[in-house]
Amino acid sequence: MPTRPGYNLGRSWPWSGAWDCAVPGTISENIAGLFRVALSVITVNLHRQLSAIPARAVIVDLDGTMVDTLGDFVVVLQHTLADMGCHPVEIARVDRAFLELTVGKGTEDLLRRSLAHAWGLPDDDAEVAAQVPQAWRHYQGHYQRLNGQHADVFPGVAEGLAQLAALGLPMACLTNKPTAFAEQLLQLKGLRGHFACVFGGDAFERKKPDPLPLLKTCEALGVAPADTVMVGDSSNDAQAATAAGCGVVLVRYGYNHGHPIDEVPALAHVDRMDQIEWQVRT
Ligand SMILES: O=C(O)COP(=O)(O)O
Ligand SMILES: [Mg+2]
């Protein structure tokens, strides 16, 4: 069928031929065209969901991917802000909704933005920055004491990790949370045994979204980045993994700074970790 002017959306689309039919023409042409479009979209999406992910090693993010830690952050930050002399009205501003948009770039960033939000100041305010070291001292004590008390492992995580372990794929946990807190949380939730190594935001010179932590983690696992896949919940993970040359799979239930995770390119987007079909790369 000849392409009608103004409706050719590009031949690189697998269903682009169908657009030729879905424009002014006979009713049966239009119905047939729309049907072909729907079928193509369903087929492409099914293919994306079901194709196995080849890997020789897997790196898994912690907050928002394995454990829902927002409750811990709320409680710990509220204690921290109280220690910093914040008014109850200021403390109440640092709630679950705010933290869902804020968590993921490490503790220094979290403390700075939480103090700024509580005090109604810009994130880059110099006075706020000067208070961060003091806030960190309070935060550390509270986090150690409360770590995991208001946090739950997401459904499908234990099952997903068990599937990876059964395939014999080496695993590392890579988070922007401080290493000591990550170790403590994984132990507490019975997940630590799956990981050959655990690296936090203080383990390397730079944090995700920089690729350095991914490259260092691949090195520790003894597997090339091209054979390693990161499972994460944010553009932070995707950006770091892609820049390091690793594949990335994204879970839909985590904390992506308020942006739709389906818009972040990945090998797959899943609702549970145990929905990922792995294939040991040979
Ligand atoms: O920023 C944090 O503290 C943790 O974030 P991550 O586990 O998602 O890397
Ligand atoms: Mg995360």
CATH class for the domain made up of 53-68+152-280: alpha beta
- Taking only the tens place, the pLDDT of each residue in 122-138 is 999 999 999 999 999 99
| Distance separating alpha carbons of residues 250 and 187, to the nearest angstrom | 24
Q: Please tell me the distance between residue 174's alpha carbon and the centre of ligand 2 in angstroms.
A: 9
Sign of CA dihedral 258, 260, 263, 266: positive
80 within 8 A of 111, measured Cβ to Cβ: yes
Q: Which of the following is catalytic: 20, 61, 68, 72? A: 61
Q: With contact defined as beta carbons under 8 Å apart, do 279 and 127 qualify?
A: no
Q: Residue 274: which of 157, 153, 122, 117 has the closest Cα?
A: 157
Residue ranges covered by each domain of the chain: 53-68+152-280, 70-146
pLDDT at 193 over 50: yes
pLDDT at 28: 65
The CB-side HSE value for 110 (13 A sphere, CA atoms) comes to 29
Q: Give residue 62 CA to ligand 1 midpoint distance, Å.
A: 6
For range 45-65, the mean pLDDT: 83
Quote the pLDDT of residue 29.
65
- Asked whether residue 34 carries a pLDDT value surpassing 90, the answer given is no
Pocket of ligand 1 (CB under 6 A): 61-64, 103-107, 175-177, 208
**If you classify domain 70-146 with CATH, what class do you get?**
mainly alpha
pLDDT tens-digit profile of 109-121? 999 999 999 999 9
Most ligand 1 atoms within 8 A of CB, residue of 74, 176, 202 to mutate: 176
pLDDT of residue 51: 86
Average pLDDT of the chain to the nearest whole number: 88
Q: What is the pLDDT of residue 168?
A: 97
CA of 1 to the centre of ligand 1 (A): 53
Q: Are 67 and 185 in contact (CB under 8 A)?
A: yes
Q: Is 271 a catalytic residue?
A: no
Per-residue pLDDT reduced to its tens digit, 66-117: 999 999 999 999 999 999 999 999 999 999 999 999 999 999 999 999 999 9
pLDDT surpassing 50 at residue 18: no
Report yes or no: 162 and 134 within 8 Å, Cβ to Cβ: no
pLDDT at residue 15 in the model? 30
CB of 278 within 8 A of CB of 260? no
Q: Which DSSP string corresponds to 221-237? A: HT--GGGEEEEESSHHH
Provide the pLDDT confidence category of residue 37 given band limits of 50, 70 and 90: low
Write out the DSSP string of 104-127: TS-HHHHHHHHHHHHHT--TT-HH
pLDDT in the model for residue 4: 30
